[in-house]
Amino acid sequence: MALDGYRRVLTDETIYAQDWMRHPLALEYALVAGRWRMLETGVVLALLRRLGDYPQRLLDASTYLQACAELRAALLLQLMGLRLQREPSNLNSPAQSKRSGPDWLGADANRCCGVEVKCPVESDNLRGRTQLVTHLVFCTHELIGEKGVNIELNPGTIAEAAIGKWPNKPRADNLLLDALVQSELTGTCTTSLGTITPASQGFSSMIGPIPVDEAHETERLRALLEGAAAQLRDWAPGIVILDASADGALMRRCCRVAELMGEPWATDLAMVVLVTGTHPGFVMTIVPGARFESAPRLRSDVCRKGHIHVATFGPRRRCTVNEQFDDFPAYCVRGLGHYTASPRRTDR
Protein backbone atom coordinates (compact mmCIF):
# COMPACT_ATOMS: atom_id res chain seq x y z
CA MET A 1 0.00 0.00 0.00
CA ALA A 2 2.80 2.43 0.86
CA LEU A 3 4.40 1.86 -2.55
CA ASP A 4 1.07 2.58 -4.21
CA GLY A 5 0.98 5.89 -2.35
CA TYR A 6 4.42 6.91 -3.57
CA ARG A 7 3.56 5.89 -7.12
CA ARG A 8 0.89 8.59 -7.04
CA VAL A 9 3.66 11.14 -6.47
CA LEU A 10 6.78 9.69 -8.12
CA THR A 11 6.13 9.33 -11.83
CA ASP A 12 8.91 8.57 -14.33
CA GLU A 13 8.96 12.23 -15.28
CA THR A 14 9.36 13.53 -11.71
CA ILE A 15 11.95 10.88 -10.80
CA TYR A 16 14.32 11.84 -13.61
CA ALA A 17 13.77 15.58 -13.17
CA GLN A 18 14.68 15.59 -9.46
CA ASP A 19 18.16 16.10 -7.97
CA TRP A 20 17.78 13.45 -5.28
CA MET A 21 21.20 14.03 -3.70
CA ARG A 22 19.90 17.39 -2.45
CA HIS A 23 16.53 16.04 -1.35
CA PRO A 24 15.72 14.79 2.21
CA LEU A 25 14.20 11.64 0.72
CA ALA A 26 17.70 10.36 -0.10
CA LEU A 27 18.69 10.52 3.58
CA GLU A 28 15.36 9.03 4.66
CA TYR A 29 15.93 6.04 2.40
CA ALA A 30 19.45 5.51 3.76
CA LEU A 31 18.34 5.20 7.41
CA VAL A 32 16.17 2.52 9.01
CA ALA A 33 14.13 5.12 10.90
CA GLY A 34 13.69 7.09 7.69
CA ARG A 35 12.42 4.06 5.78
CA TRP A 36 9.78 3.46 8.46
CA ARG A 37 8.72 7.11 8.14
CA MET A 38 8.48 6.64 4.38
CA LEU A 39 6.20 3.62 4.84
CA GLU A 40 3.95 5.57 7.21
CA THR A 41 3.80 8.50 4.79
CA GLY A 42 3.11 6.22 1.82
CA VAL A 43 0.15 4.57 3.53
CA VAL A 44 -1.58 7.93 3.96
CA LEU A 45 -0.82 8.92 0.35
CA ALA A 46 -2.51 5.71 -0.78
CA LEU A 47 -5.60 6.37 1.34
CA LEU A 48 -6.17 10.03 0.43
CA ARG A 49 -8.89 10.57 -2.16
CA ARG A 50 -7.38 13.83 -3.39
CA LEU A 51 -3.70 14.56 -3.01
CA GLY A 52 -4.08 18.32 -3.35
CA ASP A 53 -0.70 20.03 -3.27
CA TYR A 54 1.12 17.12 -1.62
CA PRO A 55 2.91 15.91 -4.81
CA GLN A 56 4.50 19.33 -5.31
CA ARG A 57 5.38 19.74 -1.63
CA LEU A 58 6.88 16.26 -1.33
CA LEU A 59 9.07 16.83 -4.38
CA ASP A 60 10.24 20.21 -3.08
CA ALA A 61 13.18 19.69 -0.70
CA SER A 62 12.24 22.77 1.36
CA THR A 63 8.68 21.56 2.11
CA TYR A 64 9.19 17.78 2.17
CA LEU A 65 9.56 17.38 5.96
CA GLN A 66 6.50 19.51 6.75
CA ALA A 67 4.38 17.63 4.20
CA CYS A 68 5.50 14.28 5.65
CA ALA A 69 4.72 15.47 9.17
CA GLU A 70 1.15 16.37 8.13
CA LEU A 71 0.61 12.99 6.49
CA ARG A 72 2.06 11.02 9.39
CA ALA A 73 -0.04 13.07 11.81
CA ALA A 74 -3.11 12.03 9.82
CA LEU A 75 -2.11 8.38 10.26
CA LEU A 76 -1.55 8.96 13.98
CA LEU A 77 -4.94 10.62 14.49
CA GLN A 78 -6.80 7.96 12.52
CA LEU A 79 -5.17 5.24 14.60
CA MET A 80 -6.27 7.16 17.70
CA GLY A 81 -9.88 6.99 16.58
CA LEU A 82 -10.57 10.28 14.77
CA ARG A 83 -12.23 10.80 11.41
CA LEU A 84 -10.35 13.39 9.38
CA GLN A 85 -11.06 16.01 6.77
CA ARG A 86 -8.23 17.79 4.98
CA GLU A 87 -7.99 21.62 5.23
CA PRO A 88 -11.58 22.38 6.26
CA SER A 89 -11.05 26.12 5.64
CA ASN A 90 -10.46 25.45 1.94
CA LEU A 91 -12.93 22.68 1.25
CA ASN A 92 -14.41 24.39 -1.82
CA SER A 93 -11.76 27.04 -2.45
CA PRO A 94 -9.58 27.15 -5.58
CA ALA A 95 -5.87 26.59 -5.04
CA GLN A 96 -5.01 30.23 -5.80
CA SER A 97 -7.26 31.59 -3.03
CA LYS A 98 -6.48 29.30 -0.11
CA ARG A 99 -7.22 30.68 3.37
CA SER A 100 -5.29 30.16 6.57
CA GLY A 101 -6.68 27.37 8.71
CA PRO A 102 -5.96 23.98 10.24
CA ASP A 103 -4.33 21.11 8.35
CA TRP A 104 -7.05 18.70 9.44
CA LEU A 105 -10.48 18.64 11.03
CA GLY A 106 -10.68 15.72 13.45
CA ALA A 107 -13.86 14.27 14.93
CA ASP A 108 -15.06 11.38 17.05
CA ALA A 109 -18.72 10.43 17.58
CA ASN A 110 -19.50 13.53 19.63
CA ARG A 111 -16.87 16.24 19.19
CA CYS A 112 -14.63 17.82 16.58
CA CYS A 113 -11.51 19.97 16.62
CA GLY A 114 -9.04 21.68 14.33
CA VAL A 115 -5.57 20.12 14.07
CA GLU A 116 -2.48 22.05 13.04
CA VAL A 117 0.78 20.17 12.42
CA LYS A 118 4.23 21.73 12.71
CA CYS A 119 7.62 20.17 12.02
CA PRO A 120 10.20 22.66 13.31
CA VAL A 121 13.84 22.20 12.39
CA GLU A 122 16.63 22.44 14.92
CA SER A 123 17.60 26.07 15.50
CA ASP A 124 20.85 27.40 14.03
CA ASN A 125 21.83 28.39 17.56
CA LEU A 126 21.60 24.83 18.88
CA ARG A 127 23.07 23.34 15.70
CA GLY A 128 26.22 25.45 16.03
CA ARG A 129 26.66 24.48 19.68
CA THR A 130 26.12 20.81 18.91
CA GLN A 131 28.71 20.88 16.12
CA LEU A 132 31.16 22.66 18.40
CA VAL A 133 30.80 20.10 21.20
CA THR A 134 31.07 17.23 18.70
CA HIS A 135 34.29 18.77 17.39
CA LEU A 136 35.64 19.02 20.96
CA VAL A 137 34.86 15.34 21.58
CA PHE A 138 36.79 14.16 18.52
CA CYS A 139 39.72 16.48 19.24
CA THR A 140 39.93 15.26 22.84
CA HIS A 141 40.12 11.62 21.72
CA GLU A 142 42.82 12.48 19.19
CA LEU A 143 44.91 14.35 21.77
CA ILE A 144 44.73 12.07 24.82
CA GLY A 145 43.58 8.75 23.37
CA GLU A 146 42.39 6.23 25.96
CA LYS A 147 43.20 8.48 28.91
CA GLY A 148 39.77 10.03 29.46
CA VAL A 149 38.59 13.27 31.05
CA ASN A 150 35.18 14.68 31.92
CA ILE A 151 34.53 18.28 30.91
CA GLU A 152 31.50 20.19 32.21
CA LEU A 153 31.32 23.03 29.71
CA ASN A 154 31.19 26.73 30.51
CA PRO A 155 27.93 27.98 28.89
CA GLY A 156 29.33 31.47 28.24
CA THR A 157 32.40 30.12 26.44
CA ILE A 158 30.32 27.82 24.24
CA ALA A 159 27.97 30.69 23.37
CA GLU A 160 30.94 32.81 22.26
CA ALA A 161 32.56 30.01 20.26
CA ALA A 162 29.38 28.98 18.39
CA ILE A 163 27.59 31.93 16.85
CA GLY A 164 24.74 30.91 14.57
CA LYS A 165 25.04 27.48 13.01
CA TRP A 166 28.82 27.59 12.52
CA PRO A 167 31.27 26.76 15.33
CA ASN A 168 34.54 28.67 15.67
CA LYS A 169 36.78 25.59 15.52
CA PRO A 170 40.19 27.35 15.82
CA ARG A 171 39.05 29.06 19.02
CA ALA A 172 37.67 25.76 20.30
CA ASP A 173 41.00 24.02 19.59
CA ASN A 174 42.93 26.67 21.54
CA LEU A 175 40.53 26.49 24.48
CA LEU A 176 40.76 22.70 24.54
CA LEU A 177 44.56 22.62 24.40
CA ASP A 178 44.86 25.15 27.24
CA ALA A 179 42.33 23.24 29.33
CA LEU A 180 44.02 19.86 28.83
CA VAL A 181 47.43 21.31 29.70
CA GLN A 182 46.06 22.81 32.92
CA SER A 183 44.33 19.57 33.90
CA GLU A 184 47.49 17.57 33.17
CA LEU A 185 49.39 19.72 35.63
CA THR A 186 46.78 19.97 38.40
CA GLY A 187 44.29 17.13 37.90
CA THR A 188 40.83 18.56 38.54
CA CYS A 189 40.64 22.22 37.56
CA THR A 190 38.35 24.98 36.33
CA THR A 191 39.36 26.46 32.97
CA SER A 192 37.90 28.85 30.41
CA LEU A 193 36.42 25.87 28.61
CA GLY A 194 34.84 24.40 31.74
CA THR A 195 35.49 22.19 34.75
CA ILE A 196 37.76 19.23 34.01
CA THR A 197 37.99 16.06 36.08
CA PRO A 198 39.80 12.78 35.33
CA ALA A 199 37.51 10.07 33.94
CA SER A 200 37.20 6.76 35.74
CA GLN A 201 39.63 4.11 34.56
CA GLY A 202 38.38 2.35 31.44
CA PHE A 203 35.88 5.10 30.52
CA SER A 204 36.11 7.39 27.49
CA SER A 205 36.07 11.16 27.72
CA MET A 206 32.68 12.76 28.38
CA ILE A 207 32.07 16.35 27.29
CA GLY A 208 28.83 18.17 27.94
CA PRO A 209 26.01 18.73 28.47
CA ILE A 210 25.51 21.07 25.52
CA PRO A 211 24.60 24.48 26.99
CA VAL A 212 21.27 25.57 25.49
CA ASP A 213 20.12 29.16 25.10
CA GLU A 214 16.78 28.57 26.83
CA ALA A 215 15.46 32.09 26.21
CA HIS A 216 16.13 31.77 22.48
CA GLU A 217 14.54 28.30 22.23
CA THR A 218 11.50 29.42 24.25
CA GLU A 219 10.92 32.38 21.95
CA ARG A 220 11.07 30.07 18.93
CA LEU A 221 8.51 27.78 20.57
CA ARG A 222 6.25 30.72 21.45
CA ALA A 223 6.28 32.03 17.86
CA LEU A 224 5.58 28.55 16.50
CA LEU A 225 2.70 27.80 18.86
CA GLU A 226 1.18 31.28 18.69
CA GLY A 227 1.10 31.01 14.90
CA ALA A 228 -0.53 27.59 15.09
CA ALA A 229 -3.12 28.88 17.59
CA ALA A 230 -4.01 31.71 15.21
CA GLN A 231 -4.67 29.19 12.42
CA LEU A 232 -6.96 27.23 14.76
CA ARG A 233 -8.91 30.21 16.13
CA ASP A 234 -12.03 29.54 14.03
CA TRP A 235 -11.86 25.77 14.66
CA ALA A 236 -11.62 25.59 18.45
CA PRO A 237 -10.88 23.57 20.40
CA GLY A 238 -7.57 23.24 18.65
CA ILE A 239 -4.89 20.57 18.76
CA VAL A 240 -1.31 21.39 17.78
CA ILE A 241 0.95 18.47 16.84
CA LEU A 242 4.69 19.13 17.03
CA ASP A 243 6.62 16.54 15.03
CA ALA A 244 10.16 16.10 16.40
CA SER A 245 11.58 14.42 13.27
CA ALA A 246 13.78 17.44 12.43
CA ASP A 247 14.53 18.61 16.00
CA GLY A 248 15.58 15.84 18.36
CA ALA A 249 15.54 18.16 21.40
CA LEU A 250 11.89 19.13 20.92
CA MET A 251 10.52 16.21 22.98
CA ARG A 252 12.43 17.46 26.03
CA ARG A 253 10.76 20.87 25.92
CA CYS A 254 7.32 19.78 27.12
CA CYS A 255 7.69 21.82 30.32
CA ARG A 256 8.39 24.96 28.27
CA VAL A 257 5.31 24.22 26.18
CA ALA A 258 3.25 23.78 29.37
CA GLU A 259 4.38 27.19 30.63
CA LEU A 260 3.41 28.82 27.32
CA MET A 261 -0.08 27.27 27.48
CA GLY A 262 -0.96 29.81 30.18
CA GLU A 263 -0.56 32.78 27.81
CA PRO A 264 -3.63 34.58 26.36
CA TRP A 265 -3.17 33.36 22.77
CA ALA A 266 -3.48 29.70 23.97
CA THR A 267 -6.97 29.96 25.50
CA ASP A 268 -8.66 28.03 22.67
CA LEU A 269 -6.13 25.19 22.53
CA ALA A 270 -7.15 21.77 23.80
CA MET A 271 -3.65 20.33 23.81
CA VAL A 272 -0.21 20.34 22.26
CA VAL A 273 1.04 16.87 21.33
CA LEU A 274 4.80 16.38 21.00
CA VAL A 275 5.43 13.35 18.79
CA THR A 276 8.44 11.34 17.72
CA GLY A 277 8.80 8.00 15.96
CA THR A 278 9.53 4.59 17.46
CA HIS A 279 10.16 3.09 13.99
CA PRO A 280 7.51 1.92 13.41
CA GLY A 281 4.92 3.79 15.42
CA PHE A 282 4.80 6.88 17.59
CA VAL A 283 5.48 7.91 21.17
CA MET A 284 4.15 11.20 22.48
CA THR A 285 3.77 13.65 25.33
CA ILE A 286 0.43 15.44 25.70
CA VAL A 287 0.39 18.97 27.15
CA PRO A 288 -3.23 19.79 28.11
CA GLY A 289 -4.60 23.25 27.39
CA ALA A 290 -7.57 25.27 28.60
CA ARG A 291 -10.01 23.43 26.28
CA PHE A 292 -8.70 19.95 27.03
CA GLU A 293 -12.03 18.59 28.25
CA SER A 294 -13.77 19.78 25.07
CA ALA A 295 -11.54 17.86 22.65
CA PRO A 296 -12.38 14.50 21.05
CA ARG A 297 -11.09 11.47 22.91
CA LEU A 298 -7.84 10.01 21.64
CA ARG A 299 -7.28 6.26 21.93
CA SER A 300 -3.75 5.25 22.83
CA ASP A 301 -1.69 2.54 24.50
CA VAL A 302 0.30 3.37 27.63
CA CYS A 303 3.20 1.02 28.36
CA ARG A 304 4.28 -0.01 31.85
CA LYS A 305 7.03 2.60 31.76
CA GLY A 306 4.35 5.27 31.39
CA HIS A 307 4.89 6.24 27.74
CA ILE A 308 1.97 6.87 25.37
CA HIS A 309 2.40 4.72 22.26
CA VAL A 310 0.52 4.38 18.99
CA ALA A 311 1.47 1.37 16.85
CA THR A 312 1.26 1.70 13.07
CA PHE A 313 1.84 -1.75 11.58
CA GLY A 314 0.34 -4.50 13.73
CA PRO A 315 0.26 -4.67 17.55
CA ARG A 316 2.76 -2.66 19.54
CA ARG A 317 5.96 -4.43 20.41
CA ARG A 318 7.84 -3.88 23.66
CA CYS A 319 8.66 -0.29 24.59
CA THR A 320 11.96 0.75 22.99
CA VAL A 321 12.17 4.16 24.68
CA ASN A 322 15.38 4.44 26.72
CA GLU A 323 14.13 6.16 29.87
CA GLN A 324 17.66 7.15 30.88
CA PHE A 325 17.89 9.55 27.93
CA ASP A 326 14.38 9.80 26.45
CA ASP A 327 11.97 9.49 29.34
CA PHE A 328 9.04 11.20 27.65
CA PRO A 329 6.22 11.72 30.17
CA ALA A 330 2.69 10.77 29.16
CA TYR A 331 1.31 14.14 30.28
CA CYS A 332 2.96 17.43 31.20
CA VAL A 333 0.54 19.73 33.05
CA ARG A 334 1.22 23.44 33.60
CA GLY A 335 2.04 24.10 37.24
CA LEU A 336 1.79 20.44 38.23
CA GLY A 337 4.55 18.68 36.29
CA HIS A 338 4.70 15.22 34.75
CA TYR A 339 1.98 12.61 35.06
CA THR A 340 2.08 8.95 34.10
CA ALA A 341 -1.20 7.43 32.90
CA SER A 342 -2.33 3.98 33.98
CA PRO A 343 -1.46 1.17 31.51
CA ARG A 344 -5.17 0.18 31.55
CA ARG A 345 -6.40 3.46 30.15
CA THR A 346 -7.31 3.61 26.45
CA ASP A 347 -8.27 7.27 26.18
CA ARG A 348 -6.97 10.48 27.63
Task: Please check whether residue 64 is in contact with residue 29, taking contact to mean a CB–CB distance below 8 angstroms.
Answer: no
E strand residue ranges, 191-345: 194-198, 206-208, 238-243, 269-277, 282-288, 301-302, 308-310, 331-333, 337-339
Residue pLDDT, tens place only, 110-123: 999 999 999 999 99
- Whether the ω angle into residue 209 lies within 30 degrees of 0, i.e. cis, is yes
Residue pLDDT, tens place only, 266-289: 999 999 999 999 888 999 999 999
Residue pLDDT, tens place only, 40-67: 999 999 999 889 899 999 999 999 999 9
Least confident of 56-60, 105-109, 238-242, 305-309: 305-309
The single-letter DSSP state of residue 237 is S
Half-sphere exposure (Cβ direction) of 111: Cα atoms closer than 13 Å: 17
**Quick one: which H or E segment has residue 163?**
strand 162-163
Report, as an integer, the average pLDDT of 130-134: 94
Residue pLDDT, tens place only, 52-111: 899 999 999 999 999 999 999 999 999 999 999 999 988 776 665 677 899 999 999 999
